[in-house]
Structure 1
Amino acid sequence: MELKPRVLVVGGGAIGGLFAWRLSLSRNVVVSLVCRSNYNQIKTNGYLINSTQFGKAIYHPYNTYQSVEEAVANEGTYDYVIVALKALPNIYDSSLRVSPAVGDNTMVVLFQNGIGIEQPFVDRFPRTALVSSVSFVSVKQEECGVLRHGGFSLLASGLHSGCPESRNRDIAKMHYLFDAFESQGVSSIIENDIQPYRWQKHILNGSTNPVSVICGGSTSCQEMVKNEHCRKLLENIMAEIFTLGKIVTGKPFPGVDGITDPKTATDYIASIPVPVFTSMLVDSQCKRPMERDVILKNPIALAEAHGVDVPHMRALYAMITMIEEGYSK
């Protein structure tokens, strides 16, 4: 009997849990999951999922592990490793955390937010097929093991690096994985260059995330754009992201969700029917590390390299850094 490709999803939060669930419904792969803070809940009870797009479900992963090392001890290295960890390079190296599961024939797939997330993996695994994937989805872990998902899910992905002589084989392997997602209702786009999509998502991530933390309280994205002054601030930050992203990639943004400029971005936020709270705000309220480097620091470094002035990003990074450093005081 032909063995199905084995997938390890590392990170059992909202993104990891949702996409592991959809992928597990395919008959073409076997999916295991590494959880940390919610391990006991998922191992015992699975995920309770309430999805506008897919309906309600209880998802019990094929195997649930507390660590990558435990997964490898039980199953060996994997055909695919999906990295759904928060991108916190100032705290830990995601590439190091997943390295035990990466073998000679493993494809590493990044489901992480932010800019510049790929480089640590390129440095550690220079000949490994690396896929950068951008998720356009609204999903939140409302409480431990309970996911609420909206009415839409899209993955835009591309082969970022790998061994030149195996490129055609790697592209076919990438298509195999995302065809499995597509078969379970997750829209999939494959691009030769995924970076314009990554910058497209960053229009919202790079603006609403840090501003929501600075606004404080229980401020939703919709409340921020209702405020005349805050909306203007968001649009100024978005203008910097548009300018920088186009210079860095040398390409226009793809216009997902009809977002083609700062005004259409804030109009889109205002049109979302349910309150949206950013992941950075939730992390701040729980006094957890925020994805400040991949959201702000890395784009600022690119701005310096390309001679682009980004005063709003610089101000946000200074304030977010002070807020996070204040956790321990």
Structure 2
Amino acid sequence: MTSISDYSTSNKIPNILIIGVGGVGSIIAYGLDYNKKSNVSILVRSDYTKVVNSGYTIDSCDYGFIKNWKPNCRIFPDIQSSTSLKPYDYIIIATKNLPDIINFEKIINPIVDEKKTTIILFQNGFGNEVPYLQNYPNNIILSGISHIGSHNINTFITQTQKDKSFISYFYNKNIPLQIQNLKTNHFISIYSNEKNDVNYFPDAQYYRYRKLVYNASLNTVCALTGVDTGRLEFFGGLDKISIPIMYEIIGIAKADNVELPSDVINSVVHSDDGDYFQPSMLVDVKKGNPMELEVILGNLLRKAKYLNVDCPKLSFLYDLLQIVQFRLKENRCLIPPLPEKRPIYKEKFYS
């Protein structure tokens, strides 16, 4: 018999580990640390030595200018070293979501305690929860949707848009709803403060679809064209390409019994007003990093196929971005090397 005590906080002050301290993860980490209601540790890979020595410099519209910030607990370079602080009450995953390259649901296995550890996915995308629910059927999985403009460039964090987050639970049939609700609200209580805007929302899928109206139409098109959202509008791409794509996303959501608000397109279009904002996929392309293509477009299109929803614009955009993704992977040696000479396939015939 499952009880609330099975999922209660293991420590008087909850232990939190944040994996992925980029633009979003760094502000989450700082906000939790600022509240002084939890023991905050971070896992940093490529910038580990620099962060240990100098911390982060944060220029935040929420918190101001902070130099040499480090979390109040520990900084780890990898999962194995982070096992030293087990058990964790919350593990926040704020990495890029690249299931075609890396599977974090398997990587975090050594630091997840059954029932006790709540996993929070502060990541872009759709269908993110599926592999976690499969691997951790007795753990609570939360959804963190962050509407924030923030980038991390060599440990210098620039936050230009307020941290507005929506926290929900991904429904787990093995755990009573009362417990999933309590855990969701407990996390909100240790993350929320007078500087940010953290809200509970009971329907994770609703906000995942709502975020896709932006990410699958603006984030993607900016990545493909190489322009920010302001220039996309000035150059005609918003009206001709992105808004028609938004209607396709709304149609998929409706077929999945998710009714998005009538003003969702207007809200999304004006979300970057006053800012020549570069969405995350565009930043990735500029850096030469693989994009979150599968979780933003691939999973959405697979859902559309399952629901028998035709979405030709999204499909064409996905086909084009797959080529860009292969180029990015090739440059990072993430796919097998191509033949030195291009093969000639005589059996192919085009008429």
Matching residue of 1:317:
318
Residue 140 of structure 2 contacts residue 180 of structure 2 at CA under 8 Å; is this kept in 1?
yes
For residue 140 of structure 1, the aligned residue among 151, 161, 182 is 151
Secondary structure of 1:195's counterpart equals helix
For normalisation by structure 1, the TM-score amounts to 0.91
| Residue 77 (1) aligns with residue 77 (2) | no
For residue 253 of structure 1, the aligned residue among 241, 253, 260 is 260
Matching residue of 1:68:
79
| Residue 30 (1) aligns with residue 35 (2) | no
Deviations 1:47-101 (A, max 9, x none): 11111122111321121111121111x2123011011111111001121122221
Matching residue of 2:188:
178
In the alignment, the residues of structure 1 paired with residue 52 and residue 19 of structure 2 have an alpha-carbon distance, to the nearest angstrom, of 15
Q: Displacement of 1:184 after TM fit?
A: 5.0
Q: In structure 1, give the amino acid aligned to 2:274.
A: P
Larger Rg: 2
Q: Displacement of 1:321 after TM fit?
A: 0.9
Matching residue of 2:249:
241
Q: In structure 2, give the amino acid aligned to 1:20.
A: A
Secondary structure of 2:249's counterpart equals helix
Taking the TM superposition and a 5 Å limit, the aligned residue runs for 1:71-150 are 71-72=82-83, 74-104=84-114, 105-141=116-152, 143-150=153-160
In the alignment, the residues of structure 2 paired with residue 296 and residue 274 of structure 1 have an alpha-carbon distance, to the nearest angstrom, of 25
The 1:175–1:297 alpha-carbon spacing in structure 2 relative to 1, beyond 3 Å, is same
Taking the TM superposition and a 5 Å limit, the aligned residue runs for 1:250-289 are 250-253=257-260, 260-269=263-272, 272-289=273-290
The root-mean-square deviation of aligned C-alpha atoms, in Å, is 1.8
Secondary structure of 1:155's counterpart equals strand
The 1:31–1:184 alpha-carbon spacing in structure 2 relative to 1, beyond 3 Å, is farther
In the alignment, the residues of structure 2 paired with residue 166 and residue 267 of structure 1 have an alpha-carbon distance, to the nearest angstrom, of 39
Matching residue of 1:224:
232
The 1:121–1:229 alpha-carbon spacing in structure 2 relative to 1, beyond 3 Å, is closer
Q: Displacement of 1:189 after TM fit?
A: 1.8
Matching residue of 1:42:
51
Matching residue of 2:24:
15
In the alignment, the residues of structure 1 paired with residue 261 and residue 38 of structure 2 have an alpha-carbon distance, to the nearest angstrom, of 30
Secondary structure of 1:91's counterpart equals coil
Deviations 1:242-286 (A, max 9, x none): 1112222x132258xxxx2435533444xx222211111121122
- 1 or 2, which has the higher helix percentage? 1
The 1:64–1:184 alpha-carbon spacing in structure 2 relative to 1, beyond 3 Å, is farther
Q: Displacement of 1:167 after TM fit?
A: 4.0
In the alignment, the residues of structure 2 paired with residue 118 and residue 320 of structure 1 have an alpha-carbon distance, to the nearest angstrom, of 23
Matching residue of 2:347:
none
**Structure 1: unaligned runs, 5 residues or longer:** none
Residue 150 of structure 2 contacts residue 161 of structure 2 at CA under 8 Å; is this kept in 1?
no
Residue 145 of structure 2 contacts residue 165 of structure 2 at CA under 8 Å; is this kept in 1?
yes
Amino-acid identity (%): 24
More displaced 10-residue stretch of structure 1: 163-172 or 119-128: 163-172
Q: Displacement of 1:147 after TM fit?
A: 0.7
Q: Displacement of 1:123 after TM fit?
A: 0.7
For residue 214 of structure 2, the aligned residue among 187, 192, 204 is 204
For residue 213 of structure 1, the aligned residue among 195, 201, 223 is 223
In the alignment, the residues of structure 1 paired with residue 18 and residue 237 of structure 2 have an alpha-carbon distance, to the nearest angstrom, of 41
More displaced 10-residue stretch of structure 1: 171-180 or 82-91: 171-180
Q: Displacement of 1:3 after TM fit?
A: 3.1
- 1 or 2, which has the higher strand percentage? 1
